């Protein structure tokens, strides 16, 4: 088998369904498997996987064992030559895995050189997520991040290492650290480094795995030629528990990999507290804007009426098969519009392109997964997204 996709889930039932639907579509022409590991979710995540995706291998843990151990459990049962660690709050394009596989087997990567490959990640508003590519957070690099110097001098190699700004978001190249939302590597390498370190519950595990791959003499890559949506806010609620675990995670990484002085330890402790407080502030729920206009991209006129009843507003309709790109370009899409994409007639790759195309224009985005009875999306990478139930009458 060529590829195993490992998805660790905890209480994100609707985002998991969307994710698995997109992964299944992306694996149609690949000898691959999907393994969902559930960390004792209290919602009906497992029921959905069993009923909607019977070919998916489901592993149900009796407790929340955390990110590292949960993924290790999944990888232990993987049969693929390659594995992809994938967050449940992601959406991949139909050609994502084909493109990554072509890249890792191409002459661009020398034999035995490949470490971990990450891809271009965007949030639910279409904006690029800078953590898609990062540098090792050694003391100086951590300092530039904590103080914000990387923003002031984005082109200076002395200040721009935290987010690997030597590469643009649309440039493939070598990087040091990748994010756990999408990590593609050989299973052999994962086993060689011992997988995710289970002494770390979460938050520095992807940094640690990336760093261990480098220590084995491998090269990590950022690959920009496919884009994946990472809703991000779904996997983590940034509360007091988050702040505590984030501090513990950073302390874990430094203790494991660096011999540090007392002064540096004090400095980092102060920095970690400051940084985690900022994260917590960023994560506070903000007042959500209310969409004034709605545009449905579909071929189902019946769906227009259903959504109009839900939102209590007029819903404009773009018949996707016949009108498609031409009319989308000429259509006056105003600020405050919510674009709703029907995956029954609208590919995930097209959904992702629409997110990127209309980002930063005051537009919000929603997807109706194929054969699903809900509309889903997110207007912020720092808080929970939105799920609206359409009803069984639609499907």
Over residues 251-283, the pLDDT tens digits come to 777 778 776 666 666 666 666 666 666 666 655
Q: Quick: pLDDT tens for 173-204.
A: 999 999 999 999 999 999 999 999 998 766 78
Q: What is the side-by-side strand order in the sheet with 386-389? A: 315-319, 293-298, 337-342, 364-368, 374-377, 386-389
Number of other CB atoms surrounding residue 216 within 10 Å: 10
Residue 195 CA to residue 66 CA, distance in Å, equals 14
Of 144, 197, 4, residue with least CA distance to 86: 4
Strand pairing report for 219-230 and 90-91? antiparallel
Q: Quick: pLDDT tens for 101-127.
A: 999 988 767 677 899 999 999 999 999
At 128, the pLDDT band (50, 70, 90 cuts) reads: very high
At 281 the pLDDT is: 62
Number of other CB atoms surrounding residue 161 within 10 Å: 24
At 212, the pLDDT band (50, 70, 90 cuts) reads: very high
At 380 the pLDDT is: 86
Mean pLDDT of 309-329: 77
Helix 45-52 crosses helix 13-26 at what angle (to 10 degrees)?
A: 30
Mean pLDDT of 352-364: 94
At 282 the pLDDT is: 57
Residue 91 CA to residue 24 CA, distance in Å, equals 11
Beta-carbon contacts of 376 under 8 Å, excluding residues fewer than 6 positions away, are 14, 15, 18, 366, 367, 368, 369, 385, 386, 387, 388
At 268 the pLDDT is: 61
Q: Which long-range contacts (CB under 8 A, 24 or more apart) does 385-391 make?
A: 385/15, 385/89, 385/124, 385/231, 385/233, 385/234, 386/288, 387/14, 388/310, 390/303, 390/306, 390/307, 390/310, 391/306
Beta-carbon contacts of 160 under 8 Å, excluding residues fewer than 6 positions away, are 144, 150, 153, 154, 166
At 374 the pLDDT is: 96
Mean pLDDT of 382-394: 79
Which range (54-68, 197-211, 229-243, 352-366) has the least confidence?
Answer: 229-243
Beta-carbon contacts of 86 under 8 Å, excluding residues fewer than 6 positions away, are 5, 6, 7, 19, 23, 92, 181, 182
At 327 the pLDDT is: 61
**CA–CA distances in Å: residue 25 to residues 34, 223, 238, 280, 297:** 11, 21, 32, 36, 19
Does 351 score more than 70 pLDDT?
yes
At 6 the pLDDT is: 98
At 273 the pLDDT is: 67
At 233 the pLDDT is: 65
At 152, the pLDDT band (50, 70, 90 cuts) reads: confident
Mean pLDDT of 198-219: 90
Give 319 or 269, the one with higher predicted confidence.
Answer: 319
Does 356 score more than 80 pLDDT?
yes
């Amino acid at each position: 088998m060529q590829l195993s996709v490992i998805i660790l889930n905890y209480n994100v039932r609707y985002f998991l369904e969307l994710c698995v639907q997109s992964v299944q579509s992306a694996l149609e022409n690949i000898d691959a498997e999907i393994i969902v590991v559930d960390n004792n979710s209290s919602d009906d995540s497992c029921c959905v996987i069993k009923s909607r995706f019977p070919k998916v291998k489901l592993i149900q843990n009796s407790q929340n064992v955390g990110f590292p151990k949960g993924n290790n459990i999944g990888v232990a049962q993987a049969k693929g030559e390659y594995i992809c660690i994938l967050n449940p709050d992601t959406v991949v394009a139909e050609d994502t895995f084909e493109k990554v596989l072509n890249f890792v087997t191409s002459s661009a990567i020398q034999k035995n050189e490949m470490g971990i490959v990450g891809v271009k990640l965007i949030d639910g508003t279409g904006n690029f997520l800078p953590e898609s590519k990062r540098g090792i957070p050694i003391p100086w690099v951590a300092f530039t991040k904590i103080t914000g110097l990387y923003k002031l001098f984005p082109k200076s190699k002395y200040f721009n290492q935290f987010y690997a700004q030597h590469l643009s978001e649309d440039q493939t190249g070598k990087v040091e650290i990748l994010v756990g939302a999408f990590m593609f590597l050989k299973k052999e390498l994962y086993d060689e480094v011992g997988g995710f370190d289970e002494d770390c519950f979460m938050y520095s595990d992807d940094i640690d795995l990336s760093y261990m791959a480098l220590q084995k003499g491998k090269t990590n890559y950022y690959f920009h030629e496919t884009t994946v949506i990472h809703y991000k806010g779904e996997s983590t609620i940034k509360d007091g528990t988050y702040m505590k675990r984030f501090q513990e995670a950073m302390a874990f990484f430094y203790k494991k990999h660096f011999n540090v002085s007392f002064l540096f330890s004090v400095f980092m402790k102060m920095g970690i507290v400051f940084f985690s407080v900022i994260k917590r502030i960023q994560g506070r729920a903000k007042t959500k804007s209310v969409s004034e206009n709605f545009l449905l991209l579909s071929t189902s006129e019946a769906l227009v009426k259903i959504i109009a009843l839900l939102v209590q507003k007029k819903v404009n309709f773009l018949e996707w098969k016949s009108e498609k790109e031409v009319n989308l370009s000429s259509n006056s899409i105003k600020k405050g519009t919510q674009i709703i994409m029907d995956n029954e007639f609208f590919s995930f790759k097209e959904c992702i392109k629409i997110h990127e195309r209309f980002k930063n224009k005051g537009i919000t985005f929603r997807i109706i997964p194929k054969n699903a009875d809900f509309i889903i999306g997110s207007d912020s990478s720092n808080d929970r997204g939105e799920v609206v139930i359409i009803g069984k009458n639609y499907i």
